[in-house]
Amino acid sequence: MAAGDPCVEASASAAPQDIVTIIVCSSCRDATGTDARPRPGEVLASATRAQNTASDVRVEEVECLGNCKRRLSAALTKPGAWSYVFGDLRPEAAGDLVAGAQLFHTSTDGLLPWRGRPDSLKRGLVARIPPLALFKDKT
């Protein structure tokens, strides 16, 4: 789009199309169920932010991803792509989340590749949600 395009200006505050966002559930407890602070989710979020050096990957926290049955949780999202939720993560999984995000960033088909995906993001898959663009030709 040309500079000054109103569509670009209107969406200037939203995520650019090539940014992968790691969303960590900061309220997640570990297997002991303790409320002690920092919560494992906070530890994972901080570690992920510290390990991420890519300008095209950002790390955010939310209070709850609704995945409490599978404990420590995070999501990977990219505009126009599928969104992924993972559970059963360990507080040490920060490197896996960063690696998964970088792998997702290289994807051109909207999917997080299976090949090369860290093991914790294979066995920890909880769900994936397609982008609405997947259905755009059917409306």
Residues within the interface to its own copies (CB under 8 A): 5-7, 10, 13-15, 21, 23, 58, 60, 62, 64-67, 73, 75, 77, 79, 83-85, 87, 125-130, 132-139
Rank residues 116 and 130 by Cβ distance to its own copies and give the closer one. 130
The count of C-alpha atoms lying within 13 angstroms of the C-alpha of 7, restricted to the half-sphere facing its C-beta, is: 4
How far lies 8's CA from each of 1, 12, 55, 104, in Å? 8, 6, 20, 24
Output phi, psi for 72, to 5 deg.
Answer: -50, 120
Rank residues 36 and 137 by Cβ distance to its own copies and give the closer one. 137
Rank residues 50 and 114 by Cβ distance to its own copies and give the closer one. 114
Q: Is 136 exposed, middle or buried (0-12, 13-18, 19+ CB in 10 A)?
A: exposed
Rank residues 99 and 126 by Cβ distance to its own copies and give the closer one. 126
Supply the minimum distance, in Å, between the C-beta of residue 53 and its own copies.
17
Supply the minimum distance, in Å, between the C-beta of residue 128 and its own copies.
4
CA dist 137 and 139 (Å) reads 6
Supply the minimum distance, in Å, between the C-beta of residue 118 and its own copies.
16
Q: CB atoms < 10 A from the CB of 108, how many?
A: 6
Supply the minimum distance, in Å, between the C-beta of residue 135 and its own copies.
5
